C-alpha cells in the first residue's frame, strides 16, 4: 500500500493543478487549450487524483495529455477522436507520426507520450488506441564506463555536503529513480540491522534493496548531520534549506553538478541507474534478481541490460587479425 504521506489529497491536487498550468520552461510557449478541451483536461485531472500513481507520474501524464489535446485543437480536428474509437486510432497514429517525423522526438519520448494518451483514453472508458509503439534502439541503455564511474565516485567523495553525497550515491549503489530518492523517508533507511536495507517506494509497491557499504557510510554521515537542519522532525530523509522535502529538480541538480565537476556532462540519475543494472547483469547476476532490485514488473524490461553496447562492438572488432 502507498502511505498517506506520499499521496495525500491536498498534495495530489496541488501537484496535478501545477502540472496543468501553462509553463514556459526551456523556452517553450505556454499551452492554452480552447473549450471544450479545457473541460476534458480538467476531467482527466480529477481521474488522476484518485489513481494509484506517484505524484511525478500524475504530473507527467497530465502534461503529455495536455500536449496531445493542444495538437488536436491546433490541427482543427473535430471532437470525434474523443468520442469514437476509429477516429481515436487515426488521431493517435497521426500524433505518433507528428512526434517522430515533425518534432524528431526520440522513440522513448514518443512511447512515453503514447502511454499517457492511452491512460487518458482508458479513463474515458474507450480503451487504449491501436497505434503501435515506436521501435526502440536494440542497444543496451547508456551506462558509465568503468573509468567514468570512478571519476564520478571521486567527484562524490570530494563533495563537502553529506546530504549531497548520499543523494548522489543512491542511484549508483541502489538503482533508485530520482523521484524514488526524494520520496524516501527516514524510516525507509534501516542501518541498525546486520544487513542494512533501503525501502524504496513506487506507486503501488515497496521493494527492499540491500545497502552497499559505500552507500551505508554516506547515509550514516547524512543522518548524523541531519538533526542540525531546519524542521528536522520532518519525516523526509532528504531536506532542503527550508526544512522541507528535497524536490526532484533539486536532487537532479545535485547529481549533475557533481558529475560536471568530475568532467562528466551527461551523467544523470537515470544513467547512474542504468550503470547499476548494467554492472549487475555483466557481472553474472540473474535477471530475476536485477528486476527485483530495479522494481521492474516485467522481466523483459530488465532484459535490455543484457543487450550489446557500442563499446562491445568496438571490443569485438579488436579481435580481428591485422598485418603487423
The tens-digit pLDDT sequence of the chain (324 residues) is 333 343 443 333 333 334 444 343 444 554 678 778 888 988 998 999 888 888 888 889 999 999 999 998 887 565 688 888 888 999 999 999 999 888 888 888 888 899 999 999 999 899 998 888 877 656 667 889 999 999 999 999 999 999 999 999 999 999 999 999 999 999 999 997 678 999 999 877 899 999 999 999 999 999 999 999 988 889 999 999 999 999 999 999 999 999 999 999 889 999 999 999 999 988 889 989 999 999 988 887 888 887 766 666 777 777 777 776
Query: Rounded to 5, what percent of the chain is helix, strand, coil?
Result: 60, 5, 35
The distance from CA 132 to its chain's CA centroid, rounded to whole angstroms, is 23
- CATH for 146-312 is 1.10.443.10
CA distances to 74, 158, 270, 310 from 111, in Å = 21, 38, 17, 23
**Which secondary-structure segment (H or E) carries 207?**
strand 206-210
The domain spans of the chain are 4-123, 146-312
Residues 209 and 228: their CA atoms lie apart, in Å, by 28
Residue 57: half-sphere exposure toward Cβ, Cα within 13 Å: 20
**Can you tell me which residue has the cell 530518492?**
181
Report pTM: 0.59
Using CA atoms, how far apart are residues 212 and 201, in angstroms rounded to an integer?
Answer: 18
Q: Do 66 and 41 contact (CB within 8 A), yes or no?
A: yes
Residues 6+ away with beta carbon under 8 Å from 203:
2, 52, 53, 54, 57
Ramachandran area for residue 182 (φ above 0: left; ψ -120 to 50: alpha; else beta): alpha
Amino acid at each position: 500500500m502507498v502511505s498517506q504521506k506520499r499521496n495525500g489529497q491536498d498534495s495530489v491536487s496541488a501537484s496535478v493543478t501545477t502540472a496543468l498550468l501553462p509553463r514556459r520552461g526551456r523556452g517553450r510557449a505556454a499551452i492554452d487549450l480552447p473549450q471544450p478541451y479545457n473541460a476534458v483536461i480538467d476531467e482527466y485531472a480529477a481521474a488522476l487524483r484518485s489513481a494509484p500513481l506517484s505524484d511525478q507520474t500524475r504530473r507527467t501524464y497530465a502534461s503529455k495529455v495536455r500536449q496531445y489535446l493542444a495538437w488536436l485543437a491546433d490541427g482543427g480536428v473535430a471532437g470525434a477522436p474523443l468520442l469514437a474509437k476509429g477516429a481515436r486510432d487515426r488521431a493517435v497514429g497521426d500524433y505518433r507520426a507528428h512526434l517522430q517525423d515533425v518534432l524528431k522526438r526520440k522513440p522513448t519520448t514518443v512511447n512515453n507520450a503514447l502511454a499517457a494518451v492511452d491512460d487518458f483514453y482508458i479513463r474515458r472508458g474507450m480503451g487504449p488506441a491501436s497505434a503501435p509503439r515506436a521501435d526502440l534502439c536494440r542497444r543496451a541503455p547508456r551506462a558509465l564506463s568503468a573509468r567514468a564511474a570512478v571519476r564520478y565516485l571521486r567527484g562524490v567523495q570530494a563533495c563537502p555536503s553529506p546530504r549531497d553525497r548520499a543523494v548522489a550515491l543512491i542511484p549508483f549503489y541502489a538503482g533508485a529513480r530520482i523521484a524514488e530518492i526524494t520520496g524516501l523517508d527516514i524510516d525507509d533507511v534501516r542501518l541498525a540491522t546486520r544487513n542494512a536495507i533501503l525501502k524504496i517506494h513506487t506507486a503501488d509497491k515497496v521493494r527492499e534493496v540491500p545497502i552497499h557499504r559505500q552507500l551505508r557510510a554516506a547515509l550514516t554521515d547524512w543522518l548524523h548531520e541531519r538533526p542540525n537542519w531546519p524542521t528536522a522532525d520532518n519525516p523526509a530523509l532528504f531536506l532542503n534549506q527550508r526544512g522541507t522535502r528535497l524536490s526532484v529538480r533539486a536532487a537532479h541538480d545535485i547529481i549533475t553538478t557533481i558529475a560536471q565537476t568530475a568532467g562528466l556532462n551527461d551523467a544523470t540519475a537515470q544513467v547512474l541507474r542504468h550503470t547499476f543494472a548494467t554492472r549487475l547483469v555483466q557481472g553474472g547476476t540473474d535477471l530475476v534478481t536485477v528486476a527485483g532490485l530495479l522494481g521492474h514488473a516485467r522481466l523483459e524490461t530488465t532484459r535490455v541490460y543484457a543487450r550489446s553496447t557500442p563499446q562491445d562492438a568496438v571490443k569485438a572488432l579488436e579481435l580481428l587479425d591485422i598485418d603487423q
